[in-house]
Structure 1
Amino acid sequence: MAFALKGVAYITGAGSGIGQFTAYSLARQGVRKFALLDRNPVTPTVTELKKRYPDVSIKEIELDVAYESDVNDSIAQTVKEFGRIDYAVNNAGLGGELKTTDQIGLDDFQRVIAVNTTGVWLCQRAQIRQMLKQDKYSNSERAFRGSIVNMASMYGIVGPSLNVPSTAYATSKHAVVGLTRADAIAFAPQGIKINALCPGYVATPLVMTSMSADNVMDKERLKVPLQRLAGMEEIGDTIAFMHSEASSYMVGAALIVDGGFTIQ
C-alpha cells in the first residue's frame, strides 16, 4: 500500500545525517508540517526541504534533548504552531568514545547516556503526554493517535565489534530498546504506536568521521553481507514505513536494518 502520510512530524537531530534524510523521506510520502530540532542549525535541512517541497511549513527549534525543560518547551512550541504531533522521530544521539569500560571516564559515559537514553525518554514522555490529548488523525482502524520511532542501533541488540569498543553507546542503545518495548506495551491500547529502529553502519558524517582512523570502517564494512554501508535515505525511508499504516500491526518492534551484519 502507498504510505500517504499526513500530519505533523517532530524530528530531533534534524540538522544532518539520518534526521535530515528522514525529513526528506517523510515529505516525499506526504508530510508537509515539520518541527525540526537540533543543537546545531537545521538550515541545510530546511533549505533543501523548501527547495523540493515549496508548500512545507517548518518550525525550527534549537534543542539539547538532555534538558527536561527544553524538551517540554519544544513540544509546546510544536503544538502551538501545528496543533498536534503525529510522527515523532527521536533521533538525536552521540557516538561517544570508542573505549572499553576500563578506559572510559564517568563524565563521558554519563553524557552519552544523558543524550541517547535519558534524552529519548524525555522526548518520548512529552510526546506521549501530547498524543494522549489528541484524537486519531483518521477513522481508519489502522490509524493511531500518534506514532513514535526511537533511534536505537544494531548495537542495541548485540554487543559491539572488537574493532568498535563503544561501551557507552551500546549500553545506551540497549536501554532505548527496553524503553521502547515497555512504553509500547503501556500505550498501544491507548492508540499510540511506539517502535525502535536498529540500523547497522550508515554513511553519516558522524560515522565517517569517528571511524575513519586505522581503516576501522573498511574492516567493519567487510563484515556486512551486502558489502556496503547503508545510505541515509534508506534509513529515512524505513522510518517513513514505520510511521505509516503499512506497519500498523508493528508495535514494540526493534527493527534491524543492518545489511545482514547481525545474522552472522
Structure 2
Amino acid sequence: MTLPRTPTFNLKGKRALVTGASSGIGLACATALAEYGAEVTLAARSGDKLREIAGQMSEQGWDVQTLPVDVSDVTATTAAVTQAGPFDILVNSAGLARHSAALETTEEDFDAVADLNFKGAYFLTKAVAQGLVDAGRGGSLINISSQMAKVGGIDRAVYAATKHAVEGFTKSMAIEWGPKGIRINTICPTFIVTPLTKQTFDRPERRAWVEEKIKLGRIGEVEDIMGAVVFLASDASALITGSALLIDGGWTAD
C-alpha cells in the first residue's frame, strides 16, 4: 500500500501580487508568501515605503519587486497589472474603512470605501485573472475580506456592505473560472491590530465590544493570517474555490 503524502506548501516558481503591501495584513501576507518561495510583487500607493520594505525583504534573500499603484484607479491598475503579469497568486489586501453611524453616512465616504473595497477589488481580480487566461494557466486569487462579510457591526454599514459584495463576486468568479483552473477565495479576519483598526482600539467602549465578541479572548495579530494565505496560495488547497476562510476567533459562531 502506498501512503498518501501531504501536498506541498512550497511556492517556489510562483509569481505573487500583493496589494496593500505597505503595512498591516498585506505586508504580513507578502512576507509569508516570500518565506515559502514565491516571487512577490509589492503593490501600494506609496512607492517610497514599498522600496524600503523591498530592501528589507531582499536582505532575507527573497525575490521581490515593487509596483506603486492605487487600486481604486481601475484604468491605471489594470494597465500596470497587465504589463507586470501574469501572476500565479493574487492577495488583495488594499482596503479602506470610514466608520460612522448609518444615519450619518456621507456620499463622499460611501464612494471612497466602495471604490476601493468593492469596485477596485473587482477589477483588480479581473485583471489578474485575465492575465492567467491569456497565458493559459491556472492560479490562486485571494481577496482579504472580513468577518463583517458574514455579520453586521456597529458603525459599519458601508464597510460591511462592501465586504458582503466581495464575497458575492468571489463565488460567481469561482464558478466561471473553475474550468480554467483558476481558484478564488476570501480570507475573513476578525479585528487585527493594524493601522486600519487603530481608530477602533483607541475607543475603550469599542475595544471592549471587540474583546467580548471574540471567543478566544484576544484580538488578532497579523501573524494569525500568514499561515492561511500560504495555504490558499499553495497546492495544499487545490480543491478549494469559492470559499471564505474565517479567522475570527469564534466571533461568528453565535
Q: TM-score, normalised by structure 2?
A: 0.91
Q: What SS class does the counterpart of residue 231 from structure 1 fall into? A: coil
Say what the alpha-carbon RMSD is for the aligned residues.
1.5
Kindly indicate which of the two structures has a greater share of residues assigned to helix: 2
CA contact (8 A) 1:11 1:90 kept: yes
- CA offsets 1:103-128 (integer angstroms, 9 cap, x no match): 11011111100000001011011011
CA–CA separation in structure 2 for the residues paired with 1:147 and 1:119: 18
Q: Where does residue 69 of structure 1 map in the other structure?
A: 75
- Offset at 1:153? 0.6
CA contact (8 A) 1:4 1:30 kept: yes
CA–CA separation in structure 2 for the residues paired with 1:178 and 1:22: 23
Q: Where does residue 140 of structure 1 map in the other structure?
A: none
CA–CA separation in structure 2 for the residues paired with 1:259 and 1:62: 33
Matched ranges for 1:1-264 at <5 A = 1=6, 2-6=8-12, 7-31=14-38, 33-40=39-46, 41-52=49-60, 54-58=61-65, 60-79=66-85, 84-97=86-99, 99-136=100-137, 145-160=138-153, 164-264=154-254
CA contact (8 A) 1:25 1:233 kept: no
- Offset at 1:62? 1.6
- Offset at 1:203? 1.2
- Offset at 1:100? 2.5
The amino acid that maps onto 1:129 is: Q
- CA offsets 1:212-258 (integer angstroms, 9 cap, x no match): 12341233112211111121022122111111111111110011110
CA–CA separation in structure 1 for the residues paired with 2:127 and 2:201: 33
The amino acid that maps onto 1:107 is: E
Q: What SS class does the counterpart of residue 116 from structure 1 fall into? A: helix
Structure 1 stretches of 4+ with a deviation exceeding 3 A read: none
CA–CA separation in structure 2 for the residues paired with 1:51 and 1:8: 19
Which deviates more, 168-177 or 217-226?
217-226
- Offset at 1:44? 4.3
- Percent of residue pairs identical: 30
CA–CA separation in structure 1 for the residues paired with 2:52 and 2:147: 28
CA contact (8 A) 1:153 1:198 kept: yes
Q: What SS class does the counterpart of residue 90 from structure 2 fall into? A: strand
Q: What SS class does the counterpart of residue 103 from structure 2 fall into? A: coil
- CA offsets 1:35-72 (integer angstroms, 9 cap, x no match): 111112323431331232x24131x1221111122111
CA contact (8 A) 1:14 1:20 kept: yes
Provide structure 2 residue ranges, at least 5 long, that are not aligned to the other structure. Answer: 1-5
CA–CA separation in structure 1 for the residues paired with 2:35 and 2:62: 12
Q: Where does residue 139 of structure 1 map in the other structure?
A: none
Provide structure 1 residue ranges, at least 5 long, that are not aligned to the other structure. Answer: 137-144
- CA offsets 1:149-169 (integer angstroms, 9 cap, x no match): 011111001111xxx311110
CA–CA separation in structure 2 for the residues paired with 1:195 and 1:157: 14
